Amino acid sequence: MRKWLYPFMTIMLLINLVACSQGEKSTDAKKDVFNIGMIPDQNVADINRSMDDFAAYLSEKTGLNVKFVPSVDYSALVTGFERGEIQLAWFGGLTGVQARNVVPGAEAIAQRPTDEKFESVFIKQKGLPIHSLADLKGKSFTFGSESSTSGHLMPRYFLMEAGIDADKDFKSKPNYSGSHDTTYKLVESGAYETGALNISVWEAAVKEGKVDTNKVEVFYTTPPYYDYNWTINNLDDQYGKGTKDKVKEAILSIKSDDSELMNLLQTDSFIETNNENYKEIEKVAKQLGIIK
């Protein structure tokens, strides 16, 4: 080999070593990040602020490098969870079932006390002669997100129980607003005569004056069902044995409504839950053909 090549080869070797070293550091840094997510069922700015606050809390309690990753819609969060890009997520009952179905070993670990007996409300433009679900025939109607438990799945189920086919019996095909706060705004504005949404979002909107109750009102509240939950991915191989228990303990130890997250979720604590509690949601989703 010609001597003039030696300096060149030495330089290239050093460059490759540095690049490999940086690549390993980058991969390790990526592994160290513990990503959390939340279904975008309310105002995005409120969600981002509250989840950043929660990420900081989890980081302090667990020693993990916790980061909040926003999702553009419900299905994007489920996909991120399936790919292992999201380690912990605040799901609705339906999206939680969907996520756990595609990630064996994933667990629902915590919920609010209200999620043991959650409800949806059906709303209408004030003054309309609507007093029961049967009266919705021929009216315009909006659900929330198509993947929402409290804004679509369970309202559709209770409509079916009342003899209403949501795809045939309204004035036109039902709308999907994308979020609960958008649903009440659409009815308030007159864009739709009726709609269904999460009872917690409705009650918070009334309390905070975000909805004009001179224009829109509740006419029906559903029977209770299990809903929202924190679902955790498979973690121990990547983050160390006991990580799942450490995260669960941190969530269950929150006993205050002072944080952005607790205010957003209208609760002052979380309680334990498990996958079995959502079997009824899965059954309803299969019955309606929403999941197979």
| SS3 readout for 236-279 | HHHHCCCHHHHHHHHHHCCCCCCCHHHHHHCCCCCEECCHHHHH
pLDDT, one tens digit per residue, over 73-91 is 999 999 999 999 999 999 9
Quick one: pLDDT band at residue 236, thresholds 50, 70, 90?
confident
Residue with the bigger pLDDT between 4 and 241: it is 241
In this predicted structure, the answer to whether residue 274 has a pLDDT above a threshold of 90 is yes
Would you give the DSSP letter of residue 222?
P
Q: Over the stretch 248-265, which tens digit does the pLDDT of each residue have? A: 999 999 987 668 889 889
Give CATH for domain 28-113+227-287.
Answer: 3.40.190.10
Average pLDDT for residues 16-34, to the nearest whole number?
A: 51
Contact yes or no for 115/210 (Cβ under 8 A): no
Residue of 68, 46, 42 whose CA lies nearest to 57? 68
pLDDT in tens, 174-205: 999 999 999 999 999 999 999 999 999 999 99
Interatomic CA distance for residues 112 and 114, integer angstroms: 5
Indicate if the pLDDT at residue 26 is higher than 60: no
**Comparison of pLDDT for 25 and 268, the residue scoring more:** 268
- List the structure tokens of 56: 């900081």
* pLDDT above 70 coverage of the chain, percent: 89
Confidence of residue 57 (pLDDT cuts 50, 70, 90): very high
Domain ranges of the chain: 28-113+227-287, 119-221
Write the burial class of residue 72 (CB in 10 Å: 0-12 exposed, 13-18 middle, 19+ buried): exposed
DSSP 127: T
28-113+227-287 shares its CATH topology with 119-221: yes
What is the reported pLDDT for 255? 80
Mean pLDDT of 117-130: 97
Q: Tell me: pLDDT of 24 over 80.
A: no
Looking at CATH, the fold of the domain delimited by 119-221 is given as: D-Maltodextrin-Binding Protein; domain 2 (3.40.190)
CA distances from 206 to 12, 14, 57, 213, 232 (A): 67, 65, 29, 7, 32
